[in-house]
Amino acid sequence: MKEEWWNLDQAVGWVMTRDENVVSKLKDGGLAAFIIYPKNPPFCFSKTDGYSGSSIDLINALKKGQVIATGFENGLGNHAIEIKPESWERLEIRNLTKPSIAVNENGTYWSQVLLKSSNIKRFFPKTAFSPLEAVDAQELDNIINMLIEECRKNKTKLNRESLYSKVNARLSKERVTFEWAKEKIKTLPADVKNLKQRPSKNSDK
């Protein structure tokens, strides 16, 4: 996709799906169809794809200055100006118009909001490497430690496929991604990991 700047609808569409076809369809707006607003439980696409992003994640990135947006404050001015990171503390994405606008709770707003696509892709890459934030970190650590103990007790080893399946089988909610397993396997102790071969038939399942 050659488009350099995205509107708010397209930006959220990318964060949610990492699908350029979705981004293209949102060029003229239409985010309301996704039913996603920061004050409501964020609607997400299939977590098995490795993405659990929402408009909340985009706004958090805007608050931190990781993603930069420009627009017209209250629709005024001859040129778009940068929306300061601190302004996003009080803004939410609203589909009052097409494309969507950023609205402050006191009624002020930013229209014709644009975000640089390359900037968004840098902080929300197409390949998801990190574990999902929705997964309880302590629970995940406990599962990893138990798997390590079991491997040592049974004299078996884990590879990325078995790590992926065993962790997800034990999580009480959400799922880790296969990309997470590919990176996590590298950090495990050498005596419990196998980076080249699949687990043996008698390995614990």
Rounded to an integer, what distance in angstroms lies between the CA atom of residue 23 and that of residue 10?
5
Would you give the DSSP letter of residue 42?
Answer: P
Q: Average pLDDT of 36-56?
A: 45
85 has pLDDT over 60: yes
Neighbours of 194 (CB within 10 A): 19
List pLDDT tens digits, range 103-142. 988 888 999 999 999 889 888 887 654 444 456 777 888 8
Residue with the two structure tokens 């100006």: 81
63 has pLDDT over 50: yes
How large a percentage of the chain has pLDDT more than 90? 27
Smallest Cα–Cα separation from 93: which of 19, 1, 16, 3?
A: 16
pLDDT score at 174: 67
Model confidence pTM above 0.75: no
Cis, bond preceding 99 (omega within 30 deg of 0) = yes
Mean pLDDT of the chain: 78
- Give the residues across from 70 on adjacent strands: 82, 114
pLDDT score at 2: 55
Rounded to an integer, what distance in angstroms lies between the CA atom of residue 123 and that of residue 61?
8
131 contacts 177 by C-beta, under 8 angstroms: yes
3-state helix, strand, coil in the chain (%, to 5): 40, 15, 45
pLDDT score at 53: 66
Q: Average pLDDT of 89-110?
A: 84
Q: Which residue has the higher pLDDT, 184 or 202?
A: 184
Q: Average pLDDT of 158-164?
A: 89
pLDDT score at 32: 57
* Burial call 3-21: b when 16+ CB within 10 Å, e when fewer: eebbbbbbbbbbbbbbebe
Rounded to an integer, what distance in angstroms lies between the CA atom of residue 147 and that of residue 187?
14
pLDDT score at 155: 93
> Which residues make Cβ contacts (< 8 Å) with residue 9, sequence separation at least 6?
26, 29, 30, 31, 95, 98, 99, 100
Q: How confident is the model at residue 82 (pLDDT cuts 50, 70, 90)?
A: very high
Q: Average pLDDT of 157-167?
A: 89
